[in-house]
Amino acid sequence: MNVGYVELAIGSILISNLVLAKFLGLCPFFGVSRRTSDAVGMGLAVVFVMSIASAATALIYRHLLLPTTPEHTNLLGALGLPVPEGGYVLILKTISYILVIAVLVQFVEMVLRKTVPTLYRALGIYLPLITTNCAVMGIALLNTEAWRDPANGLPVHLATFNGFCGGVGFLVAMLLMSGIRERLAELPVPKAFKDLPIAFISGGLMALAFMGFANLFGIAV
Amino acid sequence: MSDPVVTYLVAAAAVLGALAVAFAVLLATAHRFFRVHVDPRQEKIEEILPGANCGSCGYGGCAAYAEAVAKGEAAPDRCTPGGPECALKIAEVMGVQVSGFLPKVAVIKCQGSCEYTGDRFRYVGEADCRAATATQYGQTACPYACLGLGSCVRACPFDAMVMDEATGLPRVLEEKCTACGTCAEVCPKNIIEILPKEQYVHVLCRNKDPGKAVRQVCKVGCIACRRCEKVCPVDGSAVHVNDNLAEVDMDACINCGKCVRACPVNCIGDFRQLRKDAQKRAEADAA
């Protein structure tokens, strides 16, 4: 199926929301959503990291890991190295993704610190914190999922856009959660449920609500 | 192990190795070009600081304060939660002397308990003082009074405040208070002030209305009768009545307590006994 921008946007923000449908990135979701100001900072950092991570991993997937196809060439094959039947996908996918994401975030952190110190300070500690967050890794892996493009994974520009939308979905979920939690903090919650337990229950209810988006506009998954 | 598998494994390892080397080179050059010079003293100071990011030093967090100290812009003794030990260690790092550290504590300038004052209306809403203030300045008869809904107690990051159920007023547990200033910031009526511990005498009222109006709403509100001014033994008086409210001049006050006894409505508080007892307890515990 040839996916377009709209399908990817609705799919990643509403239908397959990373936090509420796929249950990825729960650590920052519950850890940073006590105050809306923190939640926004975290969400924006995640959008940023997911976009660039998706771009980098899509490049690696299409041009290093997959064998040569009509749509793209494997750079290693072009250099004359032996490329197995299914490419290097099975062996190298996870570890090369982690390597790329970690390096990229470090690099971006260094550049930001030098060039835009205000943005660096605004994102603060969140940037290194989400380097190997499972949600970032998750969106990188999901970009190659079957429903999006069976044989080749998403092309780089679509993968980047999908990463961006995944981040936006994460931001939306964080904003909703922080709004709820700021109110919950003032309400008479039973002592055993205060803070995290009631937050988990609320998160579960939010996930139930988001299930209503399944198959929106006929978009599968 | 068949031959193709070995080949591919070796090739895979080689590819990953090459990627890793390429990235290492990238990061190393990036570090060279995008290096930001950080004063090593700044990192040491950051380690010394308690890391609560409370902002009582006046800077946006411990990292910002450490930067200011390393640059020489801030004095080393501004961290109140860190206390004198922290100030001494920072002074050591910077190679400066730090003169006497002034311990401070939160003081709640209102005595309007259920005994002395009442409400104008019944407030039914979010149990937060800031929300209550948005509703016609709050439910208390005195518009400057403590609302007793406990926003300060909940805000304290060190659990140094408790709500006294009998009086309906918050109480500061002075041994735990680090003078970080969070409660003072949260209080919508600005009733809480962070003041030096060595100052025992404080006027515990914020009402700036004329005496007659105050008497109608609170039994212990300052009526600006100026008796405190008259009995003060200090030349020129250490307590002044401005805008119908008495206020102690902490630089001039000698903590004699004459005004406390002279006040006809008992709105001036003396913390001497409280703090001396606490000090005795602390010394007994240490011994």
Q: What is the pLDDT of residues B195-252, one digit of tens each?
A: 988 899 999 999 999 989 999 999 999 999 999 999 999 888 899 999 899 999 988 8
pLDDT of A1 > 60? The answer is no
pLDDT of B37 > 60? The answer is yes
- State the count of interchain CB pairs (< 8 A) between A and B: 56
Closest residue in B to A116 (Cα) is B34
| pLDDT-derived band at B64, boundaries 50, 70, 90 | confident
* 3-class secondary structure, A82: coil
Which string of DSSP letters, residue by residue, matches chain B?
--HHHHHHHHHHHHHHHHHHHHHHHHHHHHHHHT-----HHHHHHHHHS------TTSSSSHHHHHHHHHHT-S-TT--TTTHHHHHHHHHHHHT--------EEEEE-----TTTB-BSS---S-S-HHHHHHTTT-SBSSTTS---S-HHHHH-TT--EEE-TTTS-EEE-TTT-----HHHHH-TT--EEEEETT--EEE-----S-HHHHHHHBTTS-----HHHHH--STT-SEEEETTEEEE-TTT-----HHHHH-TT--EEE-HHHHHHHHHHHHHHH-
Q: Which of B8, B34, B126 sits opposite A84 (nearest CB)?
A: B8
Best mutation target, A38, A57, A88, to test chain B (most B CBs within 10 A): A88
Closest residue in B to A76 (Cα) is B15
B40-94 — its CATH code?
1.10.15.40
Per-residue pLDDT, A197: 93
Q: Within 13 Å of residue A99, how many CA atoms lie on the same side as its CB?
A: 18
pLDDT in tens, B135-157: 888 889 998 999 999 999 988 88
In chain B, where does the domain assigned CATH 3.30.70.20 lie?
103-197, 200-287
Q: What is the rounded distance in angstroms from the CA atom of residue B174 to the CA atom of residue B105?
A: 7
Per-residue pLDDT, B67: 84
Name which of A199, A191, A130 is nearest A166 in CA terms: A130
Per-residue pLDDT, B60: 67
Q: What is the rounded distance in angstroms from the CA atom of residue A172 to the CA atom of residue B181?
A: 33
Closest residue in A to B127 (Cα) is A186
The reply to whether residue B35 touches residue A107, judged by beta carbons under 8 angstroms, is: no
In chain B, where does the domain assigned CATH 1.10.15.40 lie?
40-94
| pLDDT-derived band at B114, boundaries 50, 70, 90 | confident
Per-residue pLDDT, B281: 86
**A3 at B interface, C-beta within 8 A:** no
Range of weakest confidence among A77-91, B16-30, B191-205, B245-259: A77-91
Given the candidates 2.40.70.10, 3.40.50.700, 2.60.40.10, 3.30.70.20, the CATH classification of the domain at B200-287 is 3.30.70.20
Residue B41: φ, ψ to 5°: -65, -35
> Mean of the pLDDT values across residues A173-189?
91
Q: Take residue A156 and report the two structure tokens written for it.
A: 């780089």
Per-residue pLDDT, B30: 86
Range of weakest confidence among B101-105, B163-167, B220-224, B276-280: B101-105
User: Which range has highest mean pLDDT (A175-184, B4-13, B32-41, B120-129)?
Assistant: A175-184
Q: How far is CA B216 from CA B40, B142, B211, in A?
A: 61, 9, 9
> Mean of the pLDDT values across residues A77-86?
71
Q: What is the rounded distance in angstroms from the CA atom of residue B198 to the CA atom of residue B104?
A: 8
> Mean of the pLDDT values across residues B34-63?
78
Q: How far A219 CA sits from the closest chain B CA (Å)?
A: 37
- Considering only CB atoms, which chain B residues are within 8 Å of A194? none
The reply to whether residue A110 touches residue B9, judged by beta carbons under 8 angstroms, is: no
Q: What is the rounded distance in angstroms from the CA atom of residue B140 to the CA atom of residue B207?
A: 12
Best mutation target, A110, A115, A182, A195, to test chain B (most B CBs within 10 A): A110
Given the candidates 3.30.70.20, 3.90.600.10, 3.30.1330.10, 3.90.79.10, the CATH classification of the domain at B103-197 is 3.30.70.20
Residue A24: φ, ψ to 5°: -105, 155
Torsion of CA A37, A177, A25, A40, to 10 degrees: -20
- Contact between B253 and B238 under an 8 Å Cβ cutoff? The reply is yes
Name which of B117, B132, B131 is nearest B169 in CA terms: B117
Q: How far A14 CA sits from the closest chain B CA (Å)?
A: 32
Per-residue pLDDT, A88: 72
